[in-house]
Amino acid sequence: MVALDAHKEAFESGHMTATEIADTLGVSRQKTNAAIKRAGWCRPAARSAPGAAAKGGTTKFTTAEAGDLLVSFGVATLARAHSLVTGGDLGPSALKAVSAAAAAAEGILQRRGIILPVWNEDHLQRLEIAVLSGDEEAAIRTDVEAAMIDVENGGA
């Protein structure tokens, strides 16, 4: 019971579920739920007034639900980041934002055990970003514009 009491605040504040407490303590969920019921612990939703969440405009999630949302967010973010990087013309700022979002999503999925971290440098790929001078950019633009005019005139 002492080990269970160490998790009371986390349970009552909604930061831990009975299942997570059971996993932490290495006991069954049923035993944990029975002990919680005997001790009279109360979840935030049970203590609040009916409709309080709707009035405040916030939704409360259990830890398991929040974890599921994080996993969904992580998967969607990685898929969208891959799509943007492989099929789009991203500038340096957008590339940095996509990279940061993908790294955050990857971290979420690794912490949840959905994907394993890759610590082997053989799996890493090098990303090089070249910054052009104004003259180099102008030369490339001229080449592209000339190629577009050739295509419009029926050339190859």
Write a three-state SS string for the chain.
Answer: CHHHHCCHHHHHCCCCCHHHHHHHHCCCHHHHHHHHHHHCCCCHHHHCCCCHHHHHCCCCCCHHHHHHHHHHHHHHHHHHHHHHHHHCCCCHHHHHHHHHHHHHHHHHHHHCCCCCCCCCHHHCCCCCCCCCCHHHHHHHHHHHHHHHHHHHCCCC
Mean pLDDT of 5-34: 83
Q: How much is the pLDDT for 142?
A: 92
Q: Which residues, at least 6 apart from 142, have a Cβ–Cβ distance to it below 8 Å?
A: none
Ranges 49-63, 91-105, 126-140: which has the least confidence: 49-63
Give the mean pLDDT of the chain. 75
pTM above 0.95, yes or no: no
Closest by Cα among 66, 119, 77, 123 to 101: 77
Residue 20 vs residue 127, higher pLDDT = 20
Per-residue exposure over 87-115, b if at least 16 CB sit within 10 Å of its own CB, e if not: eeeeeeeeeeebeebbeebbebbeeeeeb
pLDDT of residue 84 exceeding 80, the answer is no
Residue 147 vs residue 73, higher pLDDT = 147
- pLDDT tens digit sequence for 20-55: 888 888 888 888 888 888 888 887 654 444 444 444
Q: How much is the pLDDT for 93?
A: 78
Ranges 40-54, 67-81, 134-148: which has the least confidence: 40-54
pLDDT of residue 86 exceeding 80, the answer is no
Residue 26 vs residue 123, higher pLDDT = 26
Total number of residues shown for the chain:
156
Q: How much is the pLDDT for 8?
A: 82
Q: Please tell me the number of Cα atoms within 13 Å of 77 on its side-chain side.
A: 19
